[in-house]
Each structure stands twice: as C-alpha cells, then as structure tokens.
Amino acid sequence: MKMAFRALALLLLAAAQPLSAHVGSPDVYYEGDAGPYHLFVTVRMPQVIPGVAEIQVRAESGDVQAIRIVPLRLTGPGSNLAPTPDLLEVSKDDPQFFTGTLWLMESGALQVRIMAEGAKGKGELSVPVASFAQRTLPMQKSLAGLLLLLMLLLTVGAISIAGAGAREASLEPGMTPGPANVRRSRIAMTVTVILVLGLLYVGKSWWGVEDTSYQRRVNFYKPPRAETTLENGNRLVIRAKGEDSRWTDRINMGRVLPDHNHLMHLFLIALPGMDRMWHLHPERLQEGAFAVDLPSMPAGPYQVFADIVDERGFPWTLVGTIELPQVEGKPLAGDDSSWSGAPLVTTQQGSNTSQLPDSARIVWERGSSPLKSNVAMDFKFRVEGKDGKPVEDMEPYMGMAGHAEFVRSDFTVFAHVHPSGSIPMASLELAQAGLMSDPSAMPAGMAMAGTAPSGPLPGVVAFPYGFPQPGDYRIFVQVKRAGQVETGVFDAQVE
C-alpha cells in the first residue's frame, strides 16, 4: 500500500511554473483579415496537451454570419490535411462575437485555421499557435481517494476470492473445511498477495515512466537558458541550452528562421528597475551560437531575453541574466535601438504619456477603467508632436508600424508584440504560405495586418494583446520616425 501512496504522492507533486515561448504569456492574440472580414482572434491555450483551447473571435463588421475553426500542424505533413471544421457559437448579446473550443492533441507549432462566411462571401485566415504542456496537472483529491479505495477493494477482494476458492471449491454442500483445506487456502492467499504486490509494482513503474516522460515534455518546452559570455570586452556570445537534454539535438540553431529581418531579437534590460533597455540583433556564428558587438553600456546586472523561431515555426525565448562590466562599444546602427530613463514605478493610474527626445511624445489611449489580466485589449498609442497633432514622419521599423515589449516587474512575463498581435512574424509567414497553397481560399488583396506597410504611416499604432496575470508591467513601445528609432515607456498596474 505504501507504494500506491508513493505513486499518488508523485502525482500530486506537480509544481512547474507556467512559462512559454514569449515568457509566461502562452495565449495568442491576433488581428487580421479573413478575406473581406477584419477579425480579432484570441486563443486561450490549455495548460496540458492534449487539452482544450478556447477560441474567441470578434468581427469588426456585422456581416459575418458563420465562423468555422480547425487545428492543423503549421508545417510539414498534416499542415494541409484539414479535418472537418467546428462551428463557433455566436454570442446571444453580441452578434459580432463568436466563441468555441478546440482539442489540441499534439505539442509543437500548430495553427488554427479560421473560415468566415457572410454577406461578402468567404474568407480564411490562419493563426499559428505554440502548443505545449505548461505543467503537470495535479490529480483531484476526490479522484485520488476514490482510486485508492477501489484499489484496496480489488486487492482485498482478489486475495479473499483466491483464499475462499482454495478452501471451499471442492467441498460437498454442507461440509465444513478441514485442516488440509485451510492450509491450501493459506498457500493460495500468500501466492495471491505476492502476485497482487507484483502487479501493483508493475503498475507503479508504468505510472512512473508515463509521469517522467510527460515531465520531460513539460521541461522540453520551458524557455531555454541564454548562456552568455563576454569576449574582448564588448562582444556578447549567446548560446541556447534547453532544460531537457534533448532540446539541443532537436532544435537546430543553424536553421532558425528570420523573424522580421533578423534571426534573433535580443533584449537587454537593466535589473531590477528596467531603467535601461537595448533591442539588438545578434548574428549567427558557425556553431549555432549567436554574437553581437555591444554598444557602450554601464556596468551592472541585466536581464536577457532573446527571441528566435525554429524551422518548424515554433517561437522560443531564451532567458538569462548577465553581470556586465562597463562596456566601451560602438554606436548603435541599423535596426538596433536603446532607451534609458526612470525606473519602473507602480501606481494605480500608471503612466500614459512618454516624452520623446524631440519634444514629441507617445500617448497611450488606455481609457479610465482599471486594467484586468486575461482580457484581450487593443493597446493604442498615439505619437504626437509639440502641437498635440499626430506626427507625420512615422515609417516602418523592421517592416512594421511598431514593436511593443510587455515585461512584468519580476521578469516572469515577457512578450514581444506587433500590430498583428503576439505571434512572431516568421510563424505568420508560414501560416500564410499554407493558405496560399490553396488559391481558391485566398481572396485577392489579402495582406497581413501591420506587415510591410507602404507609404507614410499614420501617427497611431495599436497592438492586440492581454496581460497574462495581475502585477506591475512596463511596456516599451518602439516606432521609427524620420530614420530614428524612438521608444516610449509606460507603466501599468494590472488587477
């Protein structure tokens, strides 16, 4: 029985942090066009795989009649063989809001294909999702109790049936068992006890093997460690190391995909107050490591977040910390950018304006209601000049109107978000290519929201996202104006 208790205790011992690619922010927020319909999509990812994802779709216009969804692999076999789609339910109070659930059966880079139908015909879009078990769910105490009771009942039952059978099966009716029968019964019961204990042991081992392999899968998808070394005083070398030993074999750093022009987006954020931030783009070295020549930086501890997308379209964020000496480096160039200012302050009302160097500023149109976690929001930022009017010199920064980084004060949440949402552009491109292979489903003029805008950009940029948990956050909003990258910083308290 002790073994059974141990097996159950093992099961109840489930304490893994829910972390993910993007760190601590597993849900997917997306804004884009399904043919003629503009949709806002939220995918709430399950904590375990297989598990149920919750899908919410809001249509911008009122002419969408039905929305169907189906899960697929993002790339490779199965990425174009769609099972029968499920119909989303229309909200009773709001005909533009659709909800439904979807079983996700496997881990890895998946996509949720969304098919909208309405007055303007049909349209499709595809939302890449990173599917992985975030933790081992503990067994419910009532279920554990019931199983233990059943096990006891079966064990005692099996032993007593074997004993009774050996003692009384060959007796004539009305006869009482003699000493020989009793001896045979004791032997049968002893043998059965040994057999049952053997069975329980095998069962416990089986359970243990399953549990270990599940735990390994959970560890496999934890954010890999960013192992950093400083060479020659200013060259930072970054290597990824997965929590599970199989990670390095399976994730080929030599084949990561370029994500909005760069193989890696590296963020160095001053600890603990986030009063300095660098957004850099390391180059890949021969052996799968990455390296970047640092700009001049003051000595101190820094948090490291490094975004990559593997060849299957699965996004990973390497996480680490580094203690840097005073670095004498070269000036920033290309897409690299930096910001410095006041440390994070957390007040209920937070901050909604951020001054830019040329007396322009970024204003967060956050409304007056308190910020809530796990609510899909459109984070809208207005870049305005001295005169209070939106600036007219905005241009694409790495192909997009803006980039936003959401960081929780304790660094357990990090999300790099774009106007199209929380999905890396490299994964979106793979999903888009999948749609392209079926031209009948691809209406003309379809473009990804927020990518490769042409012509002058409006002085407003919006990011669909939701805070994954309550706490204090700093939001870095990065835009490009007249060839210069500018960063606005906003602090927010989330309930």
Three-class DSSP category at 174 = coil
CB of 315 to Cu ion, least distance (A): 12
At which residue do the structure tokens 């990173």 appear? 130
Which of 43, 428 has the CB closer to Cu ion?
428
> In terms of Cα–Cα distance, which of 111, 132, 137, 102 is closest to 21?
132
CB of 489 to Cu ion, least distance (A): 16
CB of 402 to Cu ion, least distance (A): 8
Which of 403, 480 has the CB closer to Cu ion?
403
- DSSP E strands in 37-120: the ranges are 37-44, 51-59, 64-73, 86-87, 89-90, 97-104, 108-118
Residue 6 identity: R
Classify residue 359 as exposed, middle or buried by CB count within 10 Å of its CB (0-12, 13-18, 19+): exposed
Residues that bind Cu ion (CB under 5 A): 403
Which of 34, 383 has the CB closer to Cu ion?
383
CB of 127 to Cu ion, least distance (A): 18
Which of 403, 481 has the CB closer to Cu ion?
403
CB of 317 to Cu ion, least distance (A): 12
CB of 434 to Cu ion, least distance (A): 22
What is the spatial order of strands in the sheet that 51-59 belongs to?
28-34, 37-44, 51-59, 97-104, 89-90
User: Which contacts of 73-77 are long-range, i.e. CB under 8 A and separated by 24 or more positions?
Assistant: 73/106, 73/108, 73/109, 73/110, 73/111, 74/108, 74/109, 74/110, 74/111, 74/128, 74/312, 74/313, 74/314, 74/427, 74/430, 74/431, 74/434, 75/109, 75/312, 75/313, 75/430, 75/434, 76/312
Which of 159, 304 has the CB closer to Cu ion?
304
Which of 238, 401 has the CB closer to Cu ion?
401
DSSP for 401-459 reads S-EEEEEETTSS-EEEEBTTBSS-HHHHHHHHHHHHTSGGG--TT---TTBS--SSBPS
| Residues 449, 34 contacting (CB under 8 angstroms) | no
> Vertex 175, ends 172 and 176: CA angle to 5°?
130
Distance CA 240, CA 253 (A): 8
Distance CA 269, CA 306 (A): 11
Question: Which residue of the chain is nearest Cu ion when measured via CB?
Answer: 403
CB of 114 to Cu ion, least distance (A): 23
